[in-house]
Amino acid sequence: MPFLRAAGLVAAFTLALTRGAVATTITVNGTADNAADDGICTLREAIIAANTNTASGAMPGECAAGQASPTVDTIEFDISGSGVHAIKPASELPTITEVVLIDGYTQRPCATNTEPCSRANTLAVGDDAELLIELDGTSAGSSVGLRVQASGCTVRGLVIDRFASDEIFLGNFTSNNTIAGNFLGTDPTGTSSPSTSVGIEDDFGTANTIGGTTPAARNVMASTSDQIVVNDNSGGGNDVVQGNYLGVNAAGTAALPAETGVHVVGGSVGNAIGGSAPGAGNVMGNFLVGGVYLESANDNVVAGNLIGTDATGTMVLASTLEAVRVGNGPACADNVIGGSAAGAGNVITGAAIGVDVHGGASGTVIQGNRIGTDLSGTVALGNSGCGILLESSSGSTVGGTGPGEGNVIAFNGTTGVAISTATGSRVLGNSIFSNGGLGISFTSRCDVISPPTMNDPGDADTGQNNLQNFPQLAAGIFPGGTSIDGMLNSTPSTTFRVEVFANDACDSSGNGEGHTFVGANSAVTTNASGDAAFTVNFSLTVAAGKVLTATATAPDGSTSEFGPCTATPPTTTTTTTTSTTATTTSMAPTTTTSTASTTSTTAATTTSSTAPPPTTTTTATTTSTTQPGGCATEPVGATFVSIDCRLDALIAQVSGGSALGVLQPKLLDQIQKAKTHKEKAEMLCRQASKRRTRRALRPAINKVGQFLRTLASRKGHAIPPAVRDGLGSAADAIRGDMQALQRAVQCPRDAPPA
Ligand SMILES: [Ca+2]
Ligand SMILES: [Ca+2]
Ligand SMILES: [Ca+2]
């Protein structure tokens, strides 16, 4: 039965019928590799018979003569005996030069199935194909398994392994070939890989199909090299790679070796790696360099794939540097990772960096993916470092403003979207949450959590995304509703897009992530001083209790980091602090000098019936000040929680402090650095390193000291006294509590989980 799925083959077959030619079936009936008139039709003889349209000999059992192209000859198998039959060529088999269908599924009988006992996969998840013909390259020298130098061919139902060069090579200017339903580089059961070579090299081919959307079309492939190389520097392309299992066993449950899943090189254009249709996605369970590596390749689409997981997309199998790599070479433009259509998003995990765009890549579009989660977007499958790293590249788009364009970027170890040296990188409409560090960060480091990049007045600074300033939302607890006001200071007389996101809680950095996109204002225009007051109206009602964050995007596409969270409302998880006088409920800034007995115990729950943990009590003379807004209800004391909240409030005050004049950026920088050092100390405490925590608190205390000295300086006296005193007393109280904490801290008890 000819294999009719490939359009080119249908055309050839139809043409053959109209000419009245009868397609020849050439039946291989032995595993030998010779060519002799001995009554055995070997695979070597069969390929020659199909190529030359000449019988291999006169004796019964020899290969029949093929028909001239475009008639499609069929090579079938009927080798006596049960089980897997290994054909071990002693040298490379003849190059296939005329259209042919090689069908391993014709072999019979076998032990486990009724006839036809060799059969294609029937499973949507996993692969139960029964393959009984193995081409084993052990004795073939530096050979290719099957070299195809014809168009419209189909190779299916074979195991091809252990060839030194490629298992299958699709030669120059071939087209419309289909390689489907094979195990390449694996053993016949698809449970291990004995191979070290490229699985399929598609060299300058056009419109070749590797796999397909049906279960029967799936190839299972593994080896220590690239699985599929699409190399089209002579203008080929438009190849389709779908439904395959790459670097994963046939069951789809365990990693097998792979250097890359699919490696597209040489200016190859318009290839589809997966797709949005059911069954189109490939599973790339494991890879050393990348599940997909687009190198000097343009206009390719990578969609619907499970990259780094098992075949269910719920378990991480890979553990490598990059899951998707885009870049290198002179041209790597306009590639699309994911897409807005249903089913177009990829699951991307199992790496230190989910997607790495680098090497001068331009116009890369990353949309609709799950980067660090399963397909539902809720189960944590985080990459160990960044979700996305945008290195030397330009004009990338992460997410978008249309339906389905946003990515979920969550549970990654450090930064959600790291922008290293890239310019004009849009990050819009995504759901970014529960990453270890910032949601968006101007950083080149994916191995560490980087601190927020501070705004500069007028935003004249340069760097990745021009170090775009972030917006500042109205301070205080968001009361719930459908809009919020804010301020942006950036390039004068320029129109920005401000996006607002709702979150359950503030990121530990204070500059949040963005869980749920709630609204945008694309007409935020700065005045000649670079200032713009804005209102963002939401597309939905946001409940009280959410904290909000915002980004700004410049006309060239450069998106900022997330700005500071609005203040966090009081939570039911209380922080207990014994304090004699420091707790006040006034909303107005008040200063109370007291001898506060502070303790380092935290996070006692009201329902606990066990005795509280032993506390270390220290007595410190501090000047405690309640903060306006969000910290009004926070207990004041020497705890990370309290200090964090009060630092946030102070940062908010300084950020919006037009009365601070020329000192504003300096003061902001000092207090933000204090916060950054505090974060580091808190993180170290969380890691139970008390000694390092205490040491890390020192620069935090020093920065607050610098802040106080700046306020007290000659220039500081230009600040209205009420403002200066308010800031000074708040900072002094924070410093006192930091010092108390430094003396008495207990780790990790004093640092609740981030
Ligand atoms: Ca023979
Ligand atoms: Ca022929
Ligand atoms: Ca800036």
Q: Which residue has the higher pLDDT, 356 or 679?
A: 356
Q: 44 alpha carbon to ligand 1 midpoint, in Å?
A: 9
Nearest Cα to 306, choosing from 334, 273, 333?
273
Q: Output 18 or 743, whichever has higher pLDDT.
A: 743
pLDDT tens-place string over residues 237-274: 789 999 999 999 999 999 999 999 999 998 888 999 99
**Does pLDDT of 112 surpass 70?**
no
What digits encode the pLDDT tens for the residues 154-187? 999 999 999 999 999 999 889 999 999 999 999 9
Residue-wise DSSP of 509-527: TSB--BSEEEEEEEEEE--
Q: Report how far ligand 3's centroid is from the alpha carbon of 531 (Å).
A: 13
User: Ligand nearest 554 Cα, by number?
Assistant: 3
| CA of 60, nearest ligand number | 1
Residue 391 alpha carbon to ligand 2 centre in Å? 51
Ligand 3 center from residue 426 Cα (angstroms): 16
Q: Rounded to whole angstroms, how far apart are CA atoms 172 and 186?
A: 26
Q: Higher model confidence: residue 15 or residue 328?
A: 328
Token reading at 34: 């010779």
d(CA 400, CA 288): 30
Q: What three-state secondary structure class fits 675?
A: helix
Phi–psi pair at 316, nearest 5 degrees: -80, 130
Cis amide leading into 748 (omega within 30): yes
What ligand has the least distance to the C-alpha of 96?
2
> 53, 66 in Cβ contact below 8 A?
yes
- Mean pLDDT is lowest, of 531-545, 572-586, 603-617, for 603-617
What lies within 8 Å, CB to CB, of 579 at 6+ separation is 596, 597, 598, 624, 635, 636, 637
List, for residues 564-607, the tens digit of each pLDDT value.
999 887 765 444 444 333 333 333 333 333 333 333 333 333 33
Pairing label, strands 178-180, 426-428: unpaired
Query: Mean pLDDT highest for which of 516-520, 638-642, 663-667?
Result: 516-520
Tens digits of per-residue pLDDT, 196-233?
Answer: 999 999 988 889 999 999 999 999 999 999 999 998 76
Instruction: State which residues have CB under 5 angstroms from ligand 2, the bound ion.
Output: 50, 53, 66, 73, 98
Pairing of strands 440-441, 417-419: parallel
Q: Is 721 helix (H, G, I), strand (E, B) or coil?
A: helix
Alpha helices in 610-639 (DSSP H): none
The Cα–Cα gap between 79 and 82 comes to: 9
Nearest ligand (C-alpha, residue 53): 2
State the distance from the centre of ligand 2 to the C-alpha of 613, rounded, in angstroms.
Answer: 84
Residue 684 in this model has a pLDDT that exceeds 80? yes
Ligand closest in space to the Cα of 44: 1
Calculate what percentage of the chain has a pLDDT beyond 70. 86
Contact 259, 228 (CB under 8 A): no
End-to-end CA distance of the chain: 62
How remote is the CA of residue 71 from the centroid of ligand 2, in Å? 7
66 Cα: distance to centroid of ligand 1 (angstroms): 15
Q: How far is the CA of 582 from the centre of ligand 1 (A)?
A: 98
Residues making up the chain, counted from first to last: 754
Q: How many angstroms does the Cα of residue 453 sit away from the middle of ligand 3?
A: 8
> CB under 8 Å to 44, separation ≥6 — which residues?
33, 34, 35, 89, 93, 94
The mean-pLDDT minimum among 57-61, 331-335, 404-408 falls in: 331-335
Gap from CA of 456 to ligand 3 centroid (Å): 5
The candidate with the shortest Cα–Cα distance to 466, out of 494, 433, 442, 436, is 442
The structure tokens 């450090």 sit at: 414
Q: Residue 100 Cα, ligand 2 centroid: separation in angstroms?
A: 7
Residues near ion ligand 3 (CB < 5 Å) are 456, 459, 461, 467, 469
Read off the pTM.
0.75
Give the residue-averaged pLDDT of 134-155: 98
pLDDT bucket at 623, cuts 50 / 70 / 90: very low
Which ligand places an atom closest to the C-alpha of 669?
Answer: 3
> What is the maximum alpha-carbon separation in the chain?
111
Angle at 485 between CA 481 and CA 489, to 5 degrees: 155
**Which ligand is closest in space to the CA of residue 61?**
1
How confident is the model at residue 624, as a pLDDT? 36
Calculate how far, in angstroms, residue 89's C-alpha sits from the geometric centre of ligand 1.
14
> In the chain, pLDDT over 90 holds for what percent of residues?
68
Cα-flanking dihedrals φ and ψ of residue 319, to 5°? -150, 90
- 460: how many CB neighbours lie within 10 A of its CB? 12
Q: How far is the CA of 442 from the centre of ligand 3 (A)?
A: 10
Question: What pLDDT is attached to residue 113?
Answer: 63
Q: Given this model, what pLDDT does residue 661 score?
A: 84
Q: Using CA atoms, how far apart are residues 200 and 275, in angstroms rounded to an integer?
A: 19
Residue 90 contacts residue 143 (beta carbons within 8 Å):
no
**What are the pLDDT digits (tens) for 447-497?**
999 999 999 999 999 999 999 999 999 988 999 999 999 999 999 999 999
Distance 480 CA to ligand 3 centre (A): 30
Ligand nearest to C-alpha 67? 2
Distance 483 CA to ligand 3 centre (A): 25
Ligand lying nearest the CA atom of residue 32: 1
Ligand nearest to the CA of 48: 2
Q: What are phi and psi of 202, to 5 degrees?
A: -105, 100
Cα of 56 to ligand 1 centre, how many Å?
A: 6
What pLDDT, on the 0 to 100 scale, is given for residue 233?
A: 62
